Amino acid sequence: MAKGRDPARHELPAIDEAALAAARDADRLLAGARERGARRWSDFLAALPDQLRDAGIEELRAVAQRARAAYGPKDSIRESLPPELTEPFLADLDRLRKVLARELAER
């Protein structure tokens, strides 16, 4: 790998797998928000599935951090959507953030 260049996602399968799992969860959350008329959350989630699928390694860290903000202490997605949708997304986001942190620490 050339210095300063991010590896392609397929070169880091743990990150790619975690991001794709989070994207699938985000798809389900988005559908749930739309079904329930939770416009605030459907607007917030609208771009996340594609970003989680397509973002490069560096950008993915910011996307995951933005997505994690949905679980804030004062305004949480948990208040509007059921745990069978919110908790898998949270778990996969946290897994993604851990594998990203591990990769970035190893550079």
pTM of the full predicted structure?
Answer: 0.90
**Per-residue DSSP letters for 3-31?**
TTPPPPGGGSHHHHHHHHHHHHHHHHHHH
Q: Are 41 and 67 in contact (CB under 8 A)?
A: no
The pLDDT assigned to 2 comes to 43
The pLDDT assigned to 7 comes to 83
Residue-wise pLDDT for 51-60, tens only, equals 999 999 889 9
Kindly indicate the confidence band of residue 1, based on its pLDDT and cuts at 50, 70 and 90: very low
